[in-house]
Amino acid sequence: MHITRKLLSLAASSVLLWNTASFAVDDAELRKKGEYIFHLAGCMGCHTDTKNKGALLAGGLSFNTPFGKFYSPNITPDPVHGIGKWTEADFIKALREGVSPQGKQYYPVFPYTAYSQMQLGDIKALWAYLHSISAVAQPSKEHELSWYVFRVSNRGWKMLYFTSKEWENIAGKSAAWNRGAYIANALAHCGECHTPRNMFGALKTSQHYAGNLAGPEGAKVPNITHDVETGIGGWKKDELLAFFSEGATPDGDYTGGLMAEVVDNSLKYLSKEDAEALVSYLAEVPAISNVIKSKEKKRRSD
């Protein structure tokens, strides 16, 4: 008798658990996946004005470029100042094609050029996550651009330099390499800083990851190709893993400037498996000899 009652209540509670689970878990899991993509893709660093204690994703961070000053917009779910009225399809279009719901052509300072390669499932998860953060009623700022820069010219720029294409695994490469290539190029957009640009601001693909003397905010961005002398070809696997998790470099320094933010907002969240995948990819980035001296390193004892 006693045992039957126990069994019954056990059965009842597991039915209850199962029921609540089947409502909530799906969404929570999707949001969790979205949060991971959000970290790896580095949305936070650009859309949060951390220095001025700005609210999460409320925008307002400025970017000085040869074309003028851009400000990141508010991308919280606020219906007036953010993207609260957007549909999922609007969001997919913004990331895939660099076009707003009203047909505005985005400037490539928003790296949709990389995100257009994101897998649809990842974009949808990201969308679910963005909806779980707090709406902030803060207007976005107007860009302050040079007289010759117009939004309409982005259309021409795209015709020359942009093709929207979801990432496809490359046959003959390992699963780890492919995952690493996806993380580096579609999500973490390493090339947006580590690849030099032409005078129109488009990446020089022949110099993939070879370093950039004129990086964002004037930063000198080092060569991270597999070249032993001028790149990171001499770094061991464990050294790269330590770099991703805490920004430590093999010579006893910590990385500084923008890269410290990339580690903090993004790379430190890599799962062990994904960190190893990124190592596999970087190990095969063709070596290009190109000396870039970086000045921003901090001594570890600081």
Task: List the x/- string, 164-203, binding to ligand HEC by CB under 6 A.
Answer: --------------------x---xxx-xxx---------
Question: Would you count residue 232 as binding ligand HEC (CB under 6 A)?
Answer: yes
Tell me which residue has tokens 């107007």.
142
Tell me which residue has tokens 């302050």.
144
Question: Would you count residue 84 as binding ligand HEC (CB under 6 A)?
Answer: no
Residues near 56 by beta carbon (within 8 Å), at least 6 away in sequence? 44, 48, 76, 133, 134, 136
Q: Which is nearer to ligand HEC, 15 or 284 (CB)?
A: 284
Pick the piece of the chain touching ligand HEC (CB under 6 A) from 13-21, 37-45, 173-181, 196-204.
Answer: 37-45
Q: Which is nearer to ligand HEC, 12 or 296 (CB)?
A: 296
Question: Would you count residue 222 as binding ligand HEC (CB under 6 A)?
Answer: yes
Question: Would you count residue 75 as binding ligand HEC (CB under 6 A)?
Answer: yes
Question: Would you count residue 58 as binding ligand HEC (CB under 6 A)?
Answer: no
Distances, alpha carbon 115 to alpha carbons 5, 118, 174, 182, 274, in Å: 56, 5, 22, 10, 18
Question: Would you count residue 73 as binding ligand HEC (CB under 6 A)?
Answer: yes
Task: Classify each residue of 178-190 as buried b or exposed e, where b means 16 or more C-beta atoms within 10 Å of its C-beta.
Answer: bbbbbbbbbbbbb
Pick the piece of the chain touching ligand HEC (CB under 6 A) from 22-30, 166-174, 198-206, 252-260.
Answer: 252-260
CB of 288 to ligand HEC, least distance (A): 14
Contact 244, 262 (CB under 8 A): no
Question: Would you count residue 279 as binding ligand HEC (CB under 6 A)?
Answer: no
Nearest to residue 123, comparing CAs of 34, 32, 26?
Answer: 34
Sign, CA dihedral 276-278-279-284, equals positive
Contact 193, 221 (CB under 8 A): yes
Question: Would you count residue 138 as binding ligand HEC (CB under 6 A)?
Answer: no
Q: Which is nearer to ligand HEC, 178 or 294 (CB)?
A: 294
Number of other CB atoms surrounding residue 93 within 10 Å: 18
User: What angle is formed at CA 14 by the lines to CA 9 and CA 16, rounded to 5 degrees?
Assistant: 95
Q: How many residues bind ligand HEC (CB under 6 A)?
A: 47
Nearest to residue 107, comparing CAs of 138, 65, 78?
Answer: 65
Task: Using CB under 6 A, pick the residue from 36, 110, 129, 177 that binds ligand HEC.
Answer: 110
Task: Using CB under 6 A, pick the residue from 72, 76, 265, 280 that binds ligand HEC.
Answer: 72
Give the interface with ligand HEC as residue ranges (CB under 6 A). Answer: 41-43, 46-47, 63, 70, 72-73, 75, 83, 94, 100, 106-107, 109-111, 115, 126, 184, 188-190, 192-194, 215-216, 219, 221-222, 224, 232, 243, 249, 255-259, 262, 267, 282, 294, 296-297
